[in-house]
C-alpha cells in the first residue's frame, strides 16, 4: 500500500486499486463513486463500471481514458452501491467496499474464489451485527406510522449516494414524499441508469409552494449534523423528526452514528459476521486487510487459522511483505502478488 492507494505488481503489469491520483503507468481501478474512492485526477487508464463512470462525472471526475472491461480482469458486483465492483485478476481479489446483504435493488455481492484477498473491514469487530432488511422495514414503518398519527413530518437521512436510494425504495410508499434537492438529482441519475425509484418533489420547490406546511410528510435527505442549518430549519419551522440510517447507529465507539432523533443500523458494508463468511467463501490462502478495523480483523482471522495481515502499520504505512511470488519489498512501497 502506498500513499497513492494499493499498488499490485503482477504478471509484468502495475495495478493501482482505488488510487488517490491516476497513474499513467498503471491500470487504475476505481471500485465505486463515493468520493473517498475517486481519484482527484491524473492520467492513465481508469477501469470501472459504466455506472461508476456516470456517477463520477456528476461528482466532478471525468474519466477520459475509461475502460469498463479489460482482458485478464473481472469485476464482480460488490453490492455496496450502484455500479460498485470488486476486482479479480491473477488470482487476487480486491473487494473495494463490499456488502453481501441484499437491500432493495442492491443485490448482495458476488464472491469469487481467489488465492489472495484484499478486503475492507470497516465493521471488522464482533460488536457490529446488523439486523435484516425485513426487521428494519417493520421498525421504521411503525415509527413513521406513529409520527404520522400525530401529524409529525419525518426526515429519513442517509448518504446521498447509496443509502438515500435504498431508503427511497424501502419507504417511498409514504405520501406525500419529498426529496432533498441533492437526493432528487442523484435519484434521477439512478433512474437513467435503470433503477426505478419513487419520485418526489424537491425540497426547495415544496417549500416555495408552501407544501411543507401541510403536515405530515416524509422527506429523504442526506445524513447531516443536527447543527446543520437545513436540519435546524426543518425542526424549528415544521417540527420534523429525523431518522438516520448508518452502520454506526448502535456503536459505543463513535457518537456521529447517533446524531439524529432516531438511529437505524442500516449499512452498505458487511457486518462482522458477513465479513468472516465472505473471507471463508473466497478460500483465500492469504488475506490483507485495509480500512476500518484492519488490525483487529486480521488478528481474528489469524486466530481462526486463516493467514491474514493488516496493510496499515502503526504509523499508517505498510509493513514489509514477503509474497512468495516476487520477493520482499521495502517498507512503505508497493505490494507484489
pTM of the model: 0.90
Average pLDDT over residues 265-294: 97
pLDDT in tens, 189-227: 999 999 999 999 999 999 999 999 999 999 999 999 889
The answer to whether 300 touches 123, Cβ cutoff 8 Å, is no
For 32-75, the pLDDT digits (tens) are 999 999 998 888 899 999 999 999 998 888 888 899 999 999 99
On the question of pLDDT at 279 being above 90, the answer is yes
Structural Rg of the chain based on CA atoms: 21
pLDDT of residue 321: 32
Coil, strand or helix at 294 = helix
pLDDT digits (tens, 9 = 90+) for 247-259: 999 887 766 556 8
Euclidean distance between CA atoms 26 and 318, whole angstroms: 20
Alpha-helix runs per DSSP H in the chain: 50-58, 133-149, 163-171, 181-192, 203-208, 229-238, 272-282, 294-303
CB atoms within 10 A of CB 13: 13
What pLDDT score does 323 carry?
A: 37
Q: What CA–CA distance (Å, rounded) separates 141 from 50?
A: 34
Q: What mean pLDDT, rounded, does the chain reach?
A: 90
Q: Is the pLDDT of residue 320 over 60?
A: no
> What percentage of the chain carries pLDDT values higher than 90?
81
Residue 220 pairs in a beta bridge with: 156, 179
Q: How many Cβ atoms sit within 10 Å of the Cβ of residue 77?
A: 18
Whether 312 and 295 have beta carbons less than 8 Å apart is answered as: yes
Report which of 112, 90, 79, 81 is spatially closest to residue 27, judged by C-alpha positions.
Answer: 90
Residue with the larger pLDDT of the pair 108 and 65? 108
The three grid cell numbers given for residue 93, joined into one nine-digit string: 481479489
* Confidence grade of residue 333 (pLDDT, cut at 50, 70, 90): very low
Rounded to an integer, the average pLDDT of 122-137 is 97
Task: Provide the grid cell at 242.
Answer: 429525523
Angle (CA) 206 210 211, round 5° = 55
Amino acid at each position: 500500500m502506498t500513499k497513492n492507494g494499493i499498488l499490485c505488481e503482477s504478471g509484468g503489469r502495475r495495478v493501482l486499486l482505488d488510487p488517490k491520483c491516476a497513474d499513467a503507468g498503471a491500470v487504475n481501478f476505481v471500485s465505486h463513486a463515493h468520493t473517498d474512492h475517486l481519484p482527484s485526477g491524473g492520467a492513465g487508464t481508469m477501469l470501472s463500471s459504466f455506472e461508476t463512470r456516470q456517477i463520477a462525472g456528476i461528482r466532478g471526475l471525468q474519466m477520459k481514458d475509461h475502460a469498463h472491461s479489460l482482458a485478464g480482469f473481472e469485476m464482480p458486483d460488490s453490492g455496496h452501491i450502484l455500479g460498485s465492483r470488486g476486482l479479480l485478476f491473477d488470482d487476487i481479489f480486491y473487494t473495494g467496499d463490499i456488502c453481501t446483504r441484499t437491500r432493495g435493488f442492491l443485490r448482495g455481492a458476488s464472491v469469487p474464489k481467489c488465492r489472495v484477498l484484499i478486503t475492507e473491514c470497516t465493521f471488522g469487530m464482533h460488536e457490529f451485527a446488523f439486523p435484516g432488511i425485513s426487521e428494519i422495514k417493520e421498525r421504521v414503518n411503525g415509527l413513521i406510522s406513529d409520527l404520522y398519527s400525530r401529524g409529525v413530518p419525518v426526515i429519513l437521512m442517509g448518504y446521498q449516494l447509496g443509502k438515500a436510494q435504498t431508503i427511497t425504495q424501502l419507504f417511498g410508499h409514504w405520501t406525500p414524499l419529498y426529496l432533498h434537492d441533492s437526493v432528487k438529482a442523484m435519484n434521477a441519475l439512478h433512474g437513467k441508469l435503470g433503477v426505478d425509484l419513487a419520485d418526489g418533489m424537491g425540497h426547495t420547490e415544496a417549500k416555495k409552494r408552501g407544501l411543507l406546511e401541510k403536515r405530515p410528510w416524509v422527506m429523504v435527505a442526506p445524513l447531516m449534523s443536527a447543527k446543520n442549518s437545513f436540519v435546524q430549519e426543518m425542526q424549528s419551522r415544521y417540527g420534523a423528526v429525523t431518522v438516520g440510517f448508518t452502520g454506526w447507529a448502535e456503536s459505543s465507539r463513535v457518537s456521529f452514528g447517533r446524531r439524529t432523533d432516531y438511529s437505524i443500523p442500516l449499512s452498505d458494508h458487511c457486518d462482522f459476521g458477513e465479513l468472516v463468511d465472505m473471507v471463508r467463501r473466497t478460500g483465500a490462502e492469504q488475506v490483507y486487510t485495509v480500512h476500518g478495523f484492519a488490525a483487529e480483523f486480521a488478528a481474528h482471522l489469524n486466530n481462526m487459522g486463516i493467514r491474514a495481515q493488516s496493510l496499515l502499520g502503526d504509523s499508517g504505512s505498510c509493513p514489509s511483505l514477503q509474497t512468495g511470488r516476487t520477493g520482499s519489498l521495502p517498507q512503505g512501497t508497493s505490494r507484489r502478488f
